[in-house]
């Protein structure tokens, strides 16, 4: 999407330097910094410390991390060690394993002297596929928004609530949950987005709001606790969120707090949609609560908060007493029965094994 007048992806190979660049998301929205990742360690740090984040982008970054390594050491040993090293950086988003598997199976079938070129080609393909996949999610999600718009009085916006950042910054481009929003804007539909701040790291406040501002999408930033109240008062027409891992039975694991939004949505008959590329489906598991590892992050993300001071300086401040430890489970699982539909690149599926397999029949042998 555009930043100012320039089109950016969240990760790209700079053809003039042959180096991989990312937008370092830690400093948004107050500073726009582009960083070059030069070694396997850089790629691992960027994922672990959330310079890049969001399930699809984590996968794309890992793919380029493997490619970068192939320049230095294309051996099987290096490939296998890098797989394990990168895989350990963030445990919940399945796109990481998916992208590493794709790289590994492509490269291990080739002699060492062909691996570098093939690795960069495959990483670029993963990125391009992600862009097209997310575009298609937008095409299918647009139909849902269109239907809701048709039930509104003239001039009234379709109010959509979203949690965390499942935007273009979380993918290579377009985003998952935001792609239907961008498509609705292009189609001239009147929409308004409720952006959950998404404590502790505030991806909603810092990243989704920044995307909304950059694309002129009407929105309000709300505290995480406001969604239920807004739903009770008819001010939310639909919830659309992303997911870091979806089971073959349609349970979805997303940023902490998503489950509470789904409960409130169910209680208020608000449709709750989850937008996802099929690379986010873990076909090998069925029960999200029992089988998805939930990342536990540093408690400092809870006790401290990043922002801009009145004097313009960007900094972290402590919001709790000295000595209070932060507890920080980063994701939760929303069971399939709370999900109205899964918006994928092939269409909208019921959140069930049957629903998913109807769209992805080639997975029948795995699921
Ligand atoms: O911890 P993060 O910022 O990586 O978490 C991101 C999310 O939870 C997103 O909603 C999810 O990855 C879907 S992204 C299209």
Q: Cβ contacts of residue 139 below 8 Å, gap of 6+?
A: 183
Residue 292's pLDDT is: 98
| CATH number 1.20.120.420 given to 2-128 | yes
Residue 242 beta carbon below 6 angstroms from any ligand 1 atom: yes
Residue of 196, 244, 251, 332 marked active site: 244
Residue 61 beta carbon below 6 angstroms from any ligand 1 atom: no
Residue 240's pLDDT is: 99
Q: pLDDT tens digits, residue range 45-72?
A: 999 999 999 999 999 999 999 999 999 9
Residue 56's pLDDT is: 98
Burial of 1 (0-12, 13-18, 19+ CB in 10 A): middle
DSSP state of 205: I
Which part of the chain has CATH 1.20.120.420?
Answer: 2-128
CA of 55 to the centre of ligand 1 (A): 5
CA of 285 to the centre of ligand 1 (A): 20
What percent of the chain is predicted at pLDDT more than 90? 98
Of 202, 186, 179, nearest to 274 (Cα)? 179
Q: pLDDT tens digits, residue range 214-267?
A: 999 999 999 999 999 999 999 999 999 999 999 999 999 999 999 999 999 999
Q: What is the layout of strands, in order, in the sheet containing 331-334?
A: 281-282, 245-247, 252-255, 331-334
Q: pLDDT tens digits, residue range 263-278?
A: 999 999 999 999 999 9
- 244 has catalytic annotation: yes
Q: pLDDT tens digits, residue range 301-351?
A: 999 999 999 999 999 999 999 999 999 999 999 999 999 999 999 999 999
CA of 187 to the centre of ligand 1 (A): 26
CA of 141 to the centre of ligand 1 (A): 18
Residue with tokens 């908060």: 305
> What atom in ligand 1 is closest to the CA of residue 53?
4
The per-residue DSSP string of 297-346 comes to --THHHHEEEEE-TTS-EEEEE-S-TTPPP--B-EEEE-GGG-SEEEETT
Does the pLDDT at position 367 exceed 90?
no
Does the pLDDT at position 130 exceed 90?
yes
How many CB atoms sit inside 10 A of residue 66's CB?
Answer: 27
> What atom in ligand 1 is closest to the CA of residue 93?
12
Which part of the chain has CATH 3.40.50.10470?
Answer: 136-363
Mutate to test the pocket of ligand 1, among 91, 170, 177, 199 (most ligand atoms within 8 A of CB): 170
CB contact at 8 A, 342 and 271? no
Q: Measure the CA–CA gap between 206 and 212, rounded to whole angstroms.
A: 11
- Mean pLDDT for the chain overall: 98
Residue 341 beta carbon below 6 angstroms from any ligand 1 atom: no
Give percent helix, percent strand, percent coil of the chain, each to the nearest 5.
Answer: 45, 20, 35
Report domain 136-363's class.
Answer: alpha beta
Mutate to test the pocket of ligand 1, among 26, 49, 52, 55 (most ligand atoms within 8 A of CB): 55
Name the pLDDT band for 8 (thresholds 50, 70, 90): very high
Residue 171 beta carbon below 6 angstroms from any ligand 1 atom: yes
**Average pLDDT score over residue span 164-168:** 98
């Amino acid at each position: 999407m555009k930043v100012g007048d320039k089109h950016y992806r969240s990760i790209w190979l700079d053809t003039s330097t042959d180096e991989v660049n990312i937008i370092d998301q830690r400093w948004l929205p107050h500073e726009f910094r582009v960083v070059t990742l030069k070694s396997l360690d850089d790629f691992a740090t960027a994922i672990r410390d959330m310079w890049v984040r969001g399930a699809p982008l984590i996968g794309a970054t890992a793919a380029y991390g493997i490619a970068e390594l192939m320049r230095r050491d294309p051996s099987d040993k290096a490939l296998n060690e890098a797989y394990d090293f990168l895989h350990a950086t963030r445990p919940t988003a399945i796109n990481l394993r998916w992208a590493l598997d794709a790289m590994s199976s492509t490269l291990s079938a080739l002699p060492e002297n062909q691996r570098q070129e093939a690795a960069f080609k495959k990483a670029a393909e993963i990125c391009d596929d992600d862009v097209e996949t997310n575009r298609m999610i937008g095409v299918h999600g647009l139909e849902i928004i269109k239907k809701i718009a048709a039930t509104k009085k003239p001039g009234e916006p379709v109010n959509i609530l979203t949690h965390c950042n499942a935007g273009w910054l979380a993918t290579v481009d377009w985003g998952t949950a935001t792609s239907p929003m961008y498509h609705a804007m292009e189609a001239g539909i009147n929409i308004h987005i409720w952006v959950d701040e998404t404590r502790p790291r505030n991806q909603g406040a810092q990243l989704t709001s920044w995307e909304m501002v950059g694309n002129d999408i009407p929105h309000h930033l709300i505290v995480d606790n406001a969604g239920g109240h807004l739903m009770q008062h008819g001010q939310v027409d639909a919830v659309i969120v992303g997911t870091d891992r979806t089971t073959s039975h349609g349970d979805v694991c997303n940023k902490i707090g998503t489950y509470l939004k789904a409960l409130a949505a169910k209680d208020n008959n608000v449709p709750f949609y989850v937008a996802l590329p099929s690379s986010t489906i873990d076909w090998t598991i069925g029960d999200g609560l029992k089988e998805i590892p939930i990342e536990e992050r540093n408690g400092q993300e809870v006790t401290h908060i990043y922002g801009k001071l009145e004097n313009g300086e960007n900094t972290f401040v402590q919001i709790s007493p000295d000595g209070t430890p932060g507890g920080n489970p980063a994701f939760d699982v929303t069971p399939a029965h709370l999900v109205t539909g899964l918006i994928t690149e092939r269409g909208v599926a019921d959140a069930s094994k049957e629903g998913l397999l109807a769209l992805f029949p080639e997975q029948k042998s795995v699921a």
